Amino acid sequence: MKPTRLFDYIYFQKENYPLEKAFGRKENGKWIYWSTDDVINQAMKLASGLVGMGLQPGDKIAIAAYKNRPEFIVADIATQIIGVVNVPVYPTISPKEYEYILNDSEVQYAFVGADDLYEKFEKASPNVPSYKKTFTFDKQPGKPYWEDIWNEDNYEEVEKRKAAVKPDELATIIYTSGTTGNPKGVMLSHTNIGHVIQTTLDALNLEQGKPVLSFLPMCHIFERAVSYGYMWRSSVVHFTGTDNLGGETGDLQDVKPYFFTTVPRLLEKVYEKIYNKGLTLEGTKKKLFFWALGLTDDYAFDFKPSGMTGFKWKIADKLIFSKWREALGGNVKMIVTGAAPCPRKMAQVFSAAGIPIREGYGLTETSPTLSINHIDNDKAMLGTVGPIIPGLEIRIDRSEGDYNNDEGEIIAKGPNVMIGYHNNPEANAKVFKEIDGERWFRTGDIGTFVTNSSGTKCLKITDRKKELLKTSGGKYVAPAPIENKLKEDFLIEQVMVVGDKQKFVSALILPAQEALINWCKENDVDSSDMAAVCKNEKVLAAFQKIIDDINPEFSHIEQIKKFKLLNCEWGPMKTDGTDAELTPTLKLKRRVIREKHKNEISDIYNV
């Protein structure tokens, strides 16, 4: 019997394929594991303690941790089985942002991980009338420890509440990143998230009992939904952080995962390391490396090399691509990327090397998946986000806006679309559209449908409606496709296209420093002062060539006319009190970047 509520997945695992090593994390360099029974037993004890503290169905508890950990799973299940609403929050946001979220959702308690999280919650709490106490997952002197509230006194009440939880009830409130203002609380039910889990797992390559890695933040719906899928398929989950992945002693080599999820930026960083390593090779080895890399330009998911072409691919695989796979542990059967647009080049290069990359698409408001490329090549297509998941309706709405042929805003209707935004009727009114008496969710993304060689209809995202630039000549420009194309070059770390209300389109570019330093060595440029490097004529000419090479792929109005190289970093967390340039899922905060670099933008258009 399929689970109908989120906490049913761990019980499904217990009944069908219980694990001694269900969830693990490293402690002092060694993996420690929670079994299926450990998770359930600890969740019951915590739930009993929460009942004893007076928590009622519908009350709210927050969870925050810098790294994923089994304790998050335990706390998540414990709240669900007594009808308490879990409010996961990003660890990287400021106390002021915590204050807003805790007030908006009326959180009473929080469970937090290590480092400064306890202090941040305590700093926010005096201005939150509903808030009572912060508990830590790690025992620390003078701080309330979460295990101190565990007991078995209220098991009968816990079981009664568990039985009473309905699938369509509110399970969690997840706050969006707030790229355009205060974050909005997305209300999701058990059914919302459950529909995504049960319609997407067939597209993935999850085998019972196989090791997987989890490092994307659990406070984001992407990794959260995947975690229930891991429970359902009894995958052995290893929680880690992005800083522990690579190297000879990293967790990719240690765990040798069969599957993991990621965001495009991490793939880009891996690609940059591979490319930079290729640059350091000499002679025949260097020629072989770039010859093999060049072969990937012809790759598509349905590509089947034969004859002499097939022989070349076998050589490239044995000498080059096999080493890439070994760097990721040697066993990866599939990687799913989401949360931000994946440059086609990333999916193409890795998939060609025998590391299948599949991009999915969705929003927090859709729990999250709307479409996903399958591991089966006939249900996937490079440059798209794949077929629509079963049970969901998608329309391309051209009624409001100035779109290219066959493009329009993507709107959705189905069981995975959110209940609505918490405490925000104005936002709900803007995001839902009534058509023939039915409620459709407006994604704010622009897209179209294309068909692959097998006749499967796939969704292609062309841009975000809210991010369109409008030049002073009245022409609309979609920045994302231009940015993604530029980021395919190994010299470019980040880029943001600008030009709203201006005569032409320009770009702010952050060079990939390691790659640029290597380039400087090969081209006799002093790289000791990066600020000077960003103004060096040879360097500027190299970046101009990158732009000149991609400009013909876009219309005249979309082409980059000028650019600025910036000697700085854009990140999701700042320690200097300024606003972060990226969301926690590494999307550009365009408003923040425009404000921080208004002088550079002004220089572009005033010259």
Q: Are 76 and 65 contacting, i.e. CB atoms less than 8 angstroms apart?
A: no
- Structure token digits, residue 260: 């993991």
Q: Is residue 218 predicted with pLDDT exceeding 90?
A: yes
Instruction: Calculate what percentage of the chain has a pLDDT beyond 90.
Output: 73
Nearest to 192 by CA among 36, 391, 424, 479: 391
In the 8-state DSSP scheme, what is residue 236?
E
Q: What would the pLDDT profile of 588-605 be if each residue is shown by its tens digit?
A: 888 889 889 999 998 899
Backbone dihedral angles phi then psi of residue 493, each to the nearest 5 degrees: -85, -50
CATH class (in words) of the domain with range 8-261:
alpha beta
Q: What would the pLDDT profile of 322-332 be if each residue is shown by its tens digit?
A: 999 998 999 99
Q: Is residue 263 predicted with pLDDT exceeding 80?
A: yes
Q: Are 205 and 49 contacting, i.e. CB atoms less than 8 angstroms apart?
A: no
Assign residue 31 a region: left if phi > 0, alpha if psi is -120 to 50, beta otherwise? beta
| Confidence class for position 181, pLDDT limits 50, 70, 90 | low
Q: What is the pLDDT of residue 575?
A: 65
Q: What is the pLDDT of residue 84?
A: 98
Half-sphere CA count of 211, side-chain side, radius 13 A: 19
Q: Are 447 and 455 contacting, i.e. CB atoms less than 8 angstroms apart?
A: no
* 469-606 belongs to CATH 3.30.300.30: yes
Average pLDDT over residues 225-229: 97
Q: What would the pLDDT profile of 344-355 be if each residue is shown by its tens digit?
A: 889 999 999 999
What stretch(es) of the chain map to CATH 3.30.300.30? 469-606
Nearest to 11 by CA among 2, 515, 488: 2
Contacts of 154 (CB under 8 A, 6+ apart): 47, 48, 49, 51, 52
> How far is residue 101's CA from residue 89's CA, in Å, rounded to a whole number?
8
Q: In what order do the strands lie in the sheet with 492-498?
A: 492-498, 505-511, 560-565
> How far is residue 606's CA from residue 165's CA, in Å, rounded to a whole number?
62
> How far is residue 211's CA from residue 22's CA, in Å, rounded to a whole number?
9
| Confidence class for position 269, pLDDT limits 50, 70, 90 | confident
Q: What would the pLDDT profile of 537-587 be if each residue is shown by its tens digit?
A: 999 999 999 999 999 888 788 899 999 999 999 988 766 667 788 877 778
Q: Are 13 and 231 contacting, i.e. CB atoms less than 8 angstroms apart?
A: yes
Q: Is residue 535 predicted with pLDDT exceeding 70?
A: yes
Beta bridge partner(s), residue 371 = 361, 388
Expressed in angstroms, the distance from the first to the final Cα of the chain is 68
Average pLDDT over residues 340-345: 84
> How far is residue 392's CA from residue 372's CA, in Å, rounded to a whole number?
12
Nearest to 269 by CA among 338, 343, 331, 198: 343
Q: What is the pLDDT of residue 554?
A: 84
Contacts of 163 (CB under 8 A, 6+ apart): none
Q: Is residue 11 predicted with pLDDT exceeding 70?
A: yes
Q: Is residue 179 predicted with pLDDT exceeding 60?
A: no
Q: What would the pLDDT profile of 387-403 be if each residue is shown by its tens digit?
A: 999 999 999 999 887 77
Q: Is residue 473 predicted with pLDDT exceeding 80?
A: no
Q: Is residue 26 predicted with pLDDT exceeding 60?
A: yes
Average pLDDT over residues 111-139: 96
Contacts of 162 (CB under 8 A, 6+ apart): 7, 81, 82
Residue 399 burial by CB count (10 A; 0-12/13-18/19+): exposed, middle or buried?
exposed
- Structure token digits, residue 210: 């196989």
> How far is residue 499's CA from residue 506's CA, in Å, rounded to a whole number?
6
Q: How far is CA 372 from CA 233, 358, 376, 413, 441, in A?
A: 19, 7, 11, 16, 18
Nearest to 446 by CA among 457, 458, 462: 462
Q: Is residue 78 predicted with pLDDT exceeding 70?
A: yes
| Confidence class for position 511, pLDDT limits 50, 70, 90 | very high
Q: Are 461 and 385 contacting, i.e. CB atoms less than 8 angstroms apart?
A: yes
What stretch(es) of the chain map to CATH 3.40.50.12780? 8-261
